Amino acid sequence: MAYLSPALNVMVAAARKAGRPLIRDFGELENLQISQKGPADFVTSADKRTEQILVEELTRVRPGYGFLAEETGAIEGKDRTHRFIIDPIDGTTNFMHGIPHFAISIGLEREGQLVSAVVFNPVTDDLFTAEKGHGAYLNNKRLRVAARKNMGEAVIATGLPFMGKDGHARTQAELKIMMAATAGVRRFGAASLDLAYVAAGRFDGFWEHGLSPWDVAGGILLVREAGGMVSDLDGRTAALEAGHIAAANEVLHPQMLKLLKGAAAANQ
């Protein structure tokens, strides 16, 4: 049975409430209002509404907590020790195209440390939760990272820069090395779920550049509570703020970093 602290219980309830309208929207994509905020980078009315529901629900039960959210940015609260980090729809492009692989992601910081996490795919009803010191779960099933020790047997997930984003040459160099060293590389388009899948042992590892805190806050705690390692690509623990991330079990993690550093050297 998953451990639900009072704060985590609040987060789960907020995610489920915000997820119900998304299921309706997903079934009526032709009616969805879509605006473009950059090349291949979209925000929908669903993003904005989902974030509003999450902020309202979490504020109602935890008044004074601050927020860092994708659409509205930083909202400072009276309680400076707690902050919710929210991505209302991680995988908006998947959502827009009718691909049922996207998630609501919520992380809770206490005095700068991630202590609670929810990553919820409302279409599949996959609810990933984690509480610091109490493990990670998928729908009440305890999660552990995969135990593989050889990169040649590993399936590794990543994210790819799209139109208008920097890093195409770097990514090509990384893919060349990783494809040659692993059983496969996957690109699913939602970093929070990629990290959740590492926690669940579905992926053996994950790396990506160009990330914001709301993309990874929930997933970082899931991986750590499932027994995995998470760092930035320089091997430091500041993965939340660095904008780049690597996650795997304790054996594969250093091997991934070594390969990626080799790709960086080859791309210079």
Q: What is the rounded distance in angstroms from the CA atom of residue 262 to the CA atom of residue 203?
A: 22
Q: Are residues 89 and 133 in the same domain?
A: yes
Residue 2 vs residue 103, higher pLDDT: 103
**Range with the lowest mean pLDDT among 43-47, 189-193, 244-248?**
43-47
**Structure confidence at residue 48 (pLDDT):** 93
Q: Which of 123, 142, 161 lies at the terminal end of a domain, its last residue?
A: 142
Q: What is the rounded distance in angstroms from the CA atom of residue 137 to the CA atom of residue 2?
A: 6
Q: Are residues 122 and 19 in the same domain?
A: yes
Q: What is the rounded distance in angstroms from the CA atom of residue 185 to the CA atom of residue 179?
A: 6
pTM (predicted TM-score): 0.94
**Structure confidence at residue 105 (pLDDT):** 98
Q: Which residues pair with 74 in a beta bridge?
A: 68
**Structure confidence at residue 44 (pLDDT):** 83
Q: Are residues 101 and 165 in the same domain?
A: no
Residue 163 vs residue 198, higher pLDDT: 198
Q: Which of 117, 142, 167 lies at the terminal end of a domain, its last residue?
A: 142
Mean pLDDT of the region 198-219: 97
For the cut 90, the answer to whether the pLDDT of residue 238 exceeds it is: no
pLDDT tier at 205, thresholds 50, 70, 90 = very high
Q: Are residues 121 and 162 in the same domain?
A: no
Mean pLDDT of the region 226-236: 96
Whether 1 is in a domain gets the answer: no
Q: Express each pLDDT in 66-94 by its tens digit.
A: 999 999 999 999 999 999 999 999 999 99
**Structure confidence at residue 27 (pLDDT):** 86
Average pLDDT, the chain: 93
Q: Are residues 29 and 117 in the same domain?
A: yes
CATH number of the domain bearing residue 253: 3.40.190.80
Query: In terms of C-beta density within 10 A (0-12 exposed, 13-18 middle, 19 or more buried), how is residue 231 classed?
Result: buried
For the cut 90, the answer to whether the pLDDT of residue 1 exceeds it is: no
**Structure confidence at residue 7 (pLDDT):** 95
Q: Are residues 130 and 214 in the same domain?
A: no
pLDDT tier at 3, thresholds 50, 70, 90 = confident
Taking alpha carbons only, the member of 130, 129, 109, 111 closest to residue 121 is 129
Q: Are residues 124 and 204 in the same domain?
A: no
Q: Are residues 101 and 180 in the same domain?
A: no
Number of structural domains, the chain? 2
Most confident of 154-163, 191-200, 256-265: 191-200
Phi-psi region of 172 (alpha: psi -120 to 50; beta: other; left: phi over 0): alpha
| Contact call for residues 11 and 106 (beta carbons, < 8 A) | yes
Q: Express each pLDDT in 14-49 by its tens digit.
A: 999 999 999 999 988 767 777 766 555 567 889 999
CATH number of the domain bearing residue 11: 3.30.540.10
Q: Which of 120, 142, 164 lies at the terminal end of a domain, its last residue?
A: 142
Q: Are residues 179 and 131 in the same domain?
A: no
Q: Which residues pair with 136 in a beta bridge?
A: 130
Mean pLDDT of the region 228-255: 95
Q: Are residues 70 and 120 in the same domain?
A: yes
Whether 31 is in a domain gets the answer: yes
**Structure confidence at residue 167 (pLDDT):** 72
Secondary structure of the chain in the HEC alphabet? CCCCCHHHHHHHHHHHHHHHHHHHHHCCHHHCCEEECCCCCEEEHHHHHHHHHHHHHHHHHCCCEEEEECCCEEECCCEEEEEEEEEEEECHHHHHCCCCCCEEEEEEEECCEEEEEEEEECCCCEEEEEECCCEEEECCEECCCCCCCCHHHCEEEECCCCCCCCCHHHHHHHHHHHHHHCCEEECCCCHHHHHHHHHCCCCCEEEECCCCHHHHHHHHHHHHHCCCEEECCCCCCCHHHHCCEEEECCCHHHHHHHHHHHHHHHCC
Taking alpha carbons only, the member of 99, 228, 236, 244 closest to residue 171 is 244
**Structure confidence at residue 169 (pLDDT):** 87
Q: Are residues 128 and 157 in the same domain?
A: no
Taking alpha carbons only, the member of 120, 250, 138 closest to residue 190 is 120
Domain that holds residue 15: 6-142
